[in-house]
Amino acid sequence: MNLQQLSYVVSLDTHRQFGLAAEKSCVSQPALSVQVQKLEEELGVLLFDRTQRGAEPTAIGAKVIAQARLVLREAQLLRELVQVEKGEVVGELRLGVIPTLAPYLVPRFLVGLTAAYPDLRVRVEELRSEEIMQQLKEHRLDVGLLVTPLDDRQLHELPLLNEPFLLLASETHPLAAAATVQPTDLRQPGLWLMQQGHCFRNQVLNLCGLASPTEAVTYESGSIETLKELVRRHHGYTLVPELAVLDEVDHNRLLKRFAEPAPVREVSLVVHHGFVRTTLLTALRDLILASVPARLHATNAGAKVRWR
């Protein structure tokens, strides 16, 4: 048994196809298959059921794979401890970002990160909050960039931003004439809302004081950009995070700020409590903060809206 075999088993569990697992592991499919089979023979159990659709872990296989992930994580931790002692920022950074943040925040710091640390391989994946939390716990991600608080003792949160909510109204909606808006205004008809599963949707409903959508909700979408276009081309109104409209917030009269204390979403870097690459985390935090206006920094006031 060796770490390479364990990594192949974990890759096969992740991708559930021999060809894809081999591709992601940078090895030929026959080589991966042989090593998985050798490990099964050594353990005396079948780890995967082979089917025409791919590979599915057996009951005992699932337990072995879970332990393999822990072994690989501990081996990686040894490397990271040495890198930290040497002051090196190398290897791979697996970053999970929620979809309502990724297109507006990641382009602001990603190039700077790779330029500052050319020996660091950065892999960014858009995932929903619950998926990021789970993968952080399974050590399939190193860092999450998502909305907090999470209230999870296994995870450590490093707050970055207090990002205000803004209201975007169509020309024909009554709210277009308002100087500022209140949460109670969100009970008016014509609200366009994110689809279920997005934390931003939950925050909007919490801000409205609603347990679930009502007849005031016109439509549900999976994209903030879609919601913006629906408002601009049709009617109604929607809520957007400030980063999504940063280039127009100072001159678009259809964007409305909330009266003080303005509702905000807290954006944080999140890691597992066992994370040791503090130099990298600090560098990532500093790059993100430098990429956005200071008024968005978490040190500024705001009424935090929870999503859980």
For residues 51 and 127, what is the distance between their CA atoms, to the nearest angstrom? 28
Residue 120 Ramachandran class (φ > 0 left, ψ -120 to 50 alpha, else beta): beta
User: In this predicted structure, what is the pLDDT of residue 164?
Assistant: 94
Q: Compute φ and ψ for 166, nearest 5 degrees.
A: -125, 155
Over residues 208-228, mean pLDDT: 70
Summarised one tens digit per residue, pLDDT across range 94-115 is 999 999 999 999 999 999 999 9
pTM above 0.85, yes or no: no
Residue 287 tokens, joined = 């790059």
User: In this predicted structure, what is the pLDDT of residue 220?
Assistant: 63
How far from chain centre, in Å, is Cα 268? 10
Over residues 51-68, mean pLDDT: 92
DSSP state of 258: B
User: In this predicted structure, what is the pLDDT of residue 212?
Assistant: 61
Q: Residue 173 in contact with residue 256, Cβ under 8 Å?
A: no
Over residues 81-95, mean pLDDT: 79
For residues 243 and 107, what is the distance between their CA atoms, to the nearest angstrom? 12
Cβ within 8 Å of residue 103, ≥6 positions away: 225
- Please indicate whether residue 193 or residue 35 has the higher confidence score (pLDDT): 35
Summarised one tens digit per residue, pLDDT across range 127-154 is 999 999 999 988 889 999 999 999 899 9
**What does the radius of gyration of the chain's CA atoms come to, in whole angstroms?**
23
For residues 93 and 5, what is the distance between their CA atoms, to the nearest angstrom? 22
Over residues 220-240, mean pLDDT: 85
Counting every residue written for the chain, the total comes to: 308
Q: Residue 152 in contact with residue 133, Cβ under 8 Å?
A: yes
Residue 96 β-bridge partners: 125, 144
For the chain, the average pLDDT equals 89
**CA atoms 42, 43, 47, 49: torsion sign:** positive
User: In this predicted structure, what is the pLDDT of residue 214?
Assistant: 56
User: In this predicted structure, what is the pLDDT of residue 65?
Assistant: 94
User: In this predicted structure, what is the pLDDT of residue 182?
Assistant: 92
Q: Quick one: what percent of the chain has pLDDT higher than 70?
A: 96
Residue 219 has pLDDT above 60, yes or no: no
Residue 222 has pLDDT above 80, yes or no: no
DSSP state of 66: H
Which residue, 10, 15, 272, 11, is CA-closest to 136? Answer: 272
